[in-house]
Amino acid sequence: MIVSSSMSVSMRHYFSTNHLRAATFFAKRSYELEAGYTSGHPVADCVRSEHRSCVVSAVVMSAAFMEATINELFSDVADGVSRARYENMPGCERLAESWRAGIPRRAGYSILEKFDVALLLSDKHRFSKGDHAYQNAADVIRLQNALVHYEPESIEGEEKENRKVHDFEKKLTRRFTPCIFFEGSGNPFYPDHVLGAGCAVWAVKSSVSLVENFFNQLGIQVPYGSFRDSLGISELNKY
């Protein structure tokens, strides 16, 4: 007699922490590349290429981290996963029902709107759009969208008189230290002065601030709380 059996294994992956780890890694690497630069000297093409790749990756992964985080929360409560983690969260069943109904799961809801919906369903106050942390997170997402859905545009250099100031120059000036590689150049603020280590670190810290503020309001630990130190987030404060 032949007896056959089969076993299936179900696994649930969470990419929010992977995205955050990647964003932190790329931000640190962009800083290391700028730290090795001597002012006034030409930057090797290979260094410039790696640096730009790291900065763009840090921005994109920071925004991806925020969206994955809120999607994972809604999905978990809707699917009844990690019950112990969410059982005391106010409005848990409302979040589950909302997600099953396609709100804010379906297209049309921005990343920050998803966070707002979760807060409202949990009887918490929405983020204030005038709050510094909210504005930073919103601008990280705007920059990510501009990079991912890139459309070429002609932008006037900083030395031109009566030039049209780009939106990112209006929003991001003084948010972080501009890219050192273009210090003193007449290149446009965006993208050359924007896409530096300062921007990469700002993007990561801004996304983390938004997410941790959100979970603090809900009264539950962030998903990566038990191993936060290993992600190197705190190290970014020295950059």
**Of 153, 149, 145, 143, the residue nearest 175 (C-alpha):** 143
Domain count, the chain: 1
Domain of 111 in residue numbering reads as 18-35+43-149+163-228
Does residue 141 sit in helix, strand or coil? helix
**20-65 pLDDT, tens per residue?**
999 999 999 999 999 988 777 889 999 999 999 999 999 999 999 9
How far apart CA 28 and CA 55 sit, in angstroms, is: 9
Q: Give the global pTM.
A: 0.92
Residue 238 is encoded by which pair of tokens?
């020295």
Going by C-beta distance under 8 Å and a sequence separation of 6 or more, which residues neighbour residue 53? none
**Of 130, 77, 119, the residue nearest 99 (C-alpha):** 77
In a domain, 111, yes or no: yes
**109-160 pLDDT, tens per residue?**
999 999 999 999 999 999 999 999 999 999 999 999 999 999 999 887 766 6
In a domain, 24, yes or no: yes
In a domain, 182, yes or no: yes
Inter-residue contact 124 to 217 (CB < 8 Å)? yes
Please give the share of the chain, as a percent, with pLDDT higher than 90: 76
Give pLDDT, residue 39: 78
Inter-residue contact 173 to 189 (CB < 8 Å)? yes
Q: Whole-number mean pLDDT of the chain?
A: 91
In a domain, 97, yes or no: yes
